[in-house]
Amino acid sequence: MKLIINNLSKTYSNGLKALDSITMEINSGMFGLLGPNGAGKSSLMRTIATLQEADTGTIMLGDIDVIKQKDAVRKVLGYLPQDFGFYPKVSAFDMLDHFAVLKGIANSKERKDVCDALLNQTNLYEARKRNLSDYSGGMRQRFGIAQALLGNPKLVIVDEPTAGLDPMERNRFHNLLSEIGSTIIVILSTHIVEDVRNLCSNMVIMNQGKILLSGKPAQTIEDMNGKIWSKLIDKEQLTDHKNNFKVISTKVVEGKIQIHVFHPTLPDSSFNRVTADLEDVYFATITQ
């Protein structure tokens, strides 16, 4: 199954153009939607998830017209928004069982089997009787994936799923996403470059409602190699370097500023060439 988006645009009532002629094709597997806050990622996800209307354009999920056949989409969609609500004094099992009813699983034995299986898959079975208010942030995110997997979806959308998680929970979540992304379409919307590098076979970089770059993460890094240069400078030199070079990123190193500059050839003899990574691709793309 493929998700095909063609010429999708959305402008809000305040004049903000959140989506500007978005066109892409997404196959089964993990797909990264990378961009800063305000890039239009959530607007795109909400439109695909049938939560808001587009002004123009089409979205096809297999033979389902997402714009016109919302009910059909919802039957095969799993969605984990950036912020999702839950009843804090309800156990994980009872909450998941409630979501299963809403998903149309009417038989109680079937629901129990499905809920048990999903809680096992997300490593929450032993904590299934605990209230969701007692869950850590990572456990809540894994519960969010469990509810998104109800009904054997063909498309799962996760919006900023690892923001705020500690390294151990991020690893657990990465493993879980990788597992479910082996057979269905999983769209990972994030501003965390490492998540896309670790998980996704294909990606796009968005900013200001537009697709700026698309491709395989490894290939985009290869294309960037030989064009990233580094230098340690004093803080007072930063403005001059920004005026004279395309500085794509900065970070403090032992009291000095390490800059990365994008340039097809050596900017001058004071720079050292560094091996590019996806963060360099990302910063070079959104600062172009």
Cross-strand bridge partners of residue 65: 60
Quote the pTM value. Answer: 0.89
Q: What is the pLDDT of residues 216-264, one digit of tens each?
A: 999 999 999 999 999 999 999 999 999 999 999 999 998 999 999 999 9
Report the distance separating Cα 160 and Cα 172, nearest Å.
15
Phi and psi of 77, rounded to 5°? -115, 135
pLDDT in tens, 142-188: 898 899 999 889 999 998 888 777 888 888 888 888 888 878 999 99
pLDDT for res 175: 85
Share of the chain above pLDDT 90, in %: 74
Determine the Cα–Cα distance for residues 129 and 107; give it in Å rounded to an integer: 21
> What is residue 177's predicted lDDT score, i.e. its pLDDT?
84
Rounded Cα gap, residues 2 and 17, in angstroms: 26
Q: Average pLDDT in the 132-148 region? A: 89
CB of 157 closer than 8 Å to CB of 189: yes
Please report, for residues 19, 92, 166, 203, 241, the alpha-carbon distance to residue 32 in angstroms, rounded to integers and kept in the order given: 17, 29, 21, 4, 32
Residue 169 is predicted with a pLDDT of 82
